[in-house]
Structure formats: structure tokens, C-alpha cells
Amino acid sequence: MPILSEKGYQWIQSRTGKAVDLGKFELFGSKQTVLPTCYSFEELCHLPDRAAVAGAVDALFNLPAGLFYPIIDPVLFAETMDLAYRGADEQSSSSGIRVSARACVLVLYGLCSRLSLQGSRAQSSSYADRAQLLLGYCPGKQCDYNARSGVSPGVCIRRGTPDPQGGLVRPVGARHGRRRVHISPQFGAGRQGRGDRKYRSHFSAHIVLAFIKEKANMLLFSPNAIQVPDKQILMYIRELDDEVEEWRQSIPVDLRPKLSITAGSTIISPHMDIGQRIRCRNLQLEYLHFITTIHTAVRRCGSEYAEGMELPEDLHAVFHSSLDIALEASRSTLSLLKSNDQGLAEEPFWRIAFYPPVAAMSLFVNIIIHPLAPLAQKDLELLASSVGISQTVSSGVGKGTEEEMGYLQAMNEFIMELVRLANCAMWKARNEAGASG
């Protein structure tokens, strides 16, 4: 039963005695975006000043923010800029290849504007909208696949996976034969002439984890996964857990993510430079989010049994083991984001803004199910204290856009509503226990 559904709200109301409407919070991608249609083709193709774009992109590559976008290749983007700004007498302005290049320039300049590297942050969405609308003028048959091929080998080398000619998609369950992550500094230096840039080494572990995430989405969260039987769900969770543990062990010890992070503890060592701090924190947050997500899927087990029936003993043990792991990962996420020494100042807003609601929702559901559990009160206190995380995030990213500040406000209100409902569930359970005792 989906929690964020009418039946889910009815269930929460039965546990709390209060009316529920979590759908009013525009989180988790629930807000629909409508692209403007008022641009002419000439307006869509209008580019910012070339010198301004070049300066902004160079700043992106040389500042900590560049660590978050290692897929952007400086050499390929320089070639893309040449094509986008080429005179109309050299190539038709409506060419699919040239339109595609202009879309690339617009979207990257929009990113730089959002990061306050150039231009106005308020205009960043406009650049992104125009880039998206330009995609409609890019026929597939005119796409420059040679340009793409310059990116694919780099992706494969940095993530330690097979040659692109061998196919990027591996069969479900294929785990052996995959090389672990080994980054060649010579590759970055030879390809770009900029071997001193540390963001290339930051790329590897996230790409490997991204492929495991893709597999998790297919196995556990795709439309076909709805009908997967309990034992198959548990097998998938175990398989994914094994793979992410193999990935975790491949990370250097100083940067290696861990499951348990207590309040006040730090994952950042004093000797780390800014790139290492960013990488360490990102790996930790991504790992905890993935663990929370896959192990929370175990709550789908039991749907094939009649209401009131107990799970078989073997499923029951695995069920609770997965839940314990998911809850610990959620607690660690909130504890990590509450810490003041984790260097949030270097973190782009959207890289961290979605972690708190996911972790909070995991703890909330467990409190609703087990309101009298030994750790329920501590989890409620952690949930309540996490309301301040949005203030930590906003102070870290500085003055945000109206959209960002609105999201933080909605996140605050969402978590406060979870705290209210969880508190009601505990109060109701205590009253009922006292009346029956």
C-alpha cells in the first residue's frame, strides 16, 4: 500500500486519529512544470555573449562546483561552443547539429547562472527552458554521434566497465567480469591537457553506483516490479546489497561510506582538501540514500498474505533485518546533515535538498507502525531536530532563488507534519495501552 495515496492516508489516520493530507507538499517531484511556448525559433537560438559563457564555464571547471559535473569535458565543450557560435554563412542556423550545440551552451550557461558564476540566478530557468524547447528542433537522424563517442569511452574508462562497443547494458544478475574502479591519471591529462584537475577522480565511484541504482530501479521500482513475489523481492534486495557493499569496499578507506553515523561525529578528516571533502560527503549521502531506498522496499512483502496472517519465519527474520538497516541509514543521514562541520558551503542546493525528506519518511513510517518501540521516542526527537536541517542547507548555499527557498519552506513544513502525526500516533498508542492495562 503506497503511503502517499488515499489508502495510505486512511491507514495513517487510523493510527494517529488525525486527518492526513501529505499530498499538499510539492516534494519528491510532484510539482508539474509547464514549459513556456512564447518563444520564436530565433529567440530560442539567441545565445549569451560568447566571452561571458567562456568565462563562466572556465570558472565552473576551476571551482569546487565543477566537482559535481565531471561528465562535462572541457575540450568537447570548446568544440561545441565553436559550432554553436559559428557564422550563419558557414552552416545553416537551423541545422540539427548546430541547434543541438546551442542547446548545450544554453543549458550549461543556465547552470553557471544558477551557481552564481555568471549572469542572474533568476535567468537560469529561462536558459534551461529554452534549451529544452530547442530539443524539439533536433531530429534524431542529424545528431552528431561522433561527438557523443568522445564522451562514451571516457565514461567507460572512469567507471571501470566494459568497452562501449561491447554494450553498456549488462544482463540482470551479471556481476562477475566487471572490473572495479581504476582511474588512470594519464587518461585525464592526455585527453584534456589538464591532468591536475581532481574532479576526474571524483567521477568514478558515482558512475558505478549509478549503474547499481539503475538496476535497483528496474528490479524494485519499475511497473513490472509491482507483481514481484515476496521471496523475489528479498532476493533482489540481497543481490543489490551485495553489489553496493562490493562498491563500498572499492572506495579508499578515508573516503569509504559507513552505515552508522552518530550525532556529533564527523566523516571529514582535517587533512582532506576541498575535493576530498566534497567527494567524501557525497559518497556518504549517496550510499545512505541508496541503502534506505532498497531496504525500505522490504515493506512491500506480505501483500500476498491475508490481513492478520503472520509472515513465515524465514521471511520474518529477513524482513526485520532489512528494516533495521534502512532505519539506521535514515538516522545516519539526518545526523550527518545536522552536523555543522561537513562543509555544506561547497554543496549545490539540489545536491542535498532531497535527502532529508526521504530519511524522515522512513523513520516516520516506522514510528506509525511501532509507536511504542524502544527507539520510537529517540527517532521522534531526531525527526523533530531535523527541521533545522533546511536552515543549515540555506546558510550553506547562501541566498537561494525563490524556487529554492520555497522548496526549503515546503520541506520544513513536511517534516513538521510528520513530527505532528508521529507524536499523535505515540500518544494514541500509549492511551490505548493504558486503557487496556
**pLDDT tens-digit map of 6-29:** 888 899 999 999 988 777 776 655
Which of 272-286, 303-317, 339-353, 413-427 is predicted most confidently?
413-427
Mean pLDDT of 359-374: 94
The yes-or-no verdict on residue 201 having pLDDT over 60 is no
Of the given ranges (35-44, 163-172, 263-272, 343-352), which has the lowest mean pLDDT? 163-172
More confident residue, 245 or 113: 245
Task: Judge whether 188 and 153 are in contact, CB under 8 Å.
Answer: no
Q: At what angle do helices 313-338 and 355-369 cross, to 10 degrees?
A: 140
pTM of the full predicted structure?
Answer: 0.73
Q: What is the pLDDT of residues 332-361, one digit of tens each?
A: 999 988 876 555 555 666 667 778 889 999
Q: What is the pLDDT of residue 135?
A: 78
More confident residue, 310 or 237: 237
The yes-or-no verdict on residue 245 having pLDDT over 90 is yes
Q: What is the pLDDT of residue 193?
A: 38
The yes-or-no verdict on residue 177 having pLDDT over 80 is no
Residue 186's pLDDT band (cuts 50, 70, 90): very low
Q: What is the pLDDT of residue 156?
A: 40
The yes-or-no verdict on residue 55 having pLDDT over 70 is yes
Residue 403's pLDDT band (cuts 50, 70, 90): confident
Q: What is the pLDDT of residue 347?
A: 61
Mean pLDDT of 283-303: 89
The yes-or-no verdict on residue 362 having pLDDT over 90 is yes
Q: What percentage of residues in the chain have a pLDDT greater than 70?
A: 67
More confident residue, 305 or 18: 18
Q: What percentage of residues in the chain have a pLDDT greater than 90?
A: 25
More confident residue, 154 or 419: 419
Nearest 10 degrees: Cα torsion 231, 232, 234, 235: 120
The yes-or-no verdict on residue 228 having pLDDT over 50 is yes
Residue 235's pLDDT band (cuts 50, 70, 90): very high
More confident residue, 35 or 319: 319
**Region of 252 on the Ramachandran plot (φ > 0 left; ψ -120 to 50 alpha; else beta):** beta
Mean of all residue pLDDT scores within the chain: 75
Q: What is the pLDDT of residue 303?
A: 60
The yes-or-no verdict on residue 231 having pLDDT over 90 is no
SS3 for the chain is CCCCCHHHHHHHHHHHCCCCCHHHCCCCCCCCCCCCCCCCHHHHHCCCCHHHHHHHHHHHHHCHHHHHCCCCCHHHHHHHHHHHCCCCCCCCCCCHHHHHHHHHHHHHHHHHHHCCCCCCHHHHHHHHHHHHHHHHHCCHHHCCHHHHHHHHHHHHHHHCCCCHHHCCCCCCCCCCCCCCCCCCHHHHHHHHCCCCCCHHHHHHHHHHHHHHHHHHHHHHHCHHHHHCCHHHHHHHHHHHHHHHHHHHHCCCHHHCCCCCCCCCCCCCCCCCCHHHHHHHHHHHHHHHHHHHHHHHHHHHCCCCCCCCCCCCHHHHHHHHHHHHHHHHHHHHHHHHHHCCCCCHHHCCHHHHCCHHHHHHHHHHHHHHHCCCCCCHHHHHHHHHHHHHHHHHHHHHHCCCCHHHHHHHHHHHHHHHHHHHHHHHHHHHHHHHHHHHC
More confident residue, 56 or 237: 237
More confident residue, 402 or 377: 377
Mean pLDDT of 20-44: 68
The yes-or-no verdict on residue 226 having pLDDT over 90 is no
List C-alpha distances in Å: 286 to 210, 276, 292, 356: 10, 15, 10, 12
Q: What is the pLDDT of residue 374?
A: 92
Q: What is the pLDDT of residue 150?
A: 39
Of the given ranges (32-41, 65-74, 242-251, 305-314), which has the lowest mean pLDDT? 305-314
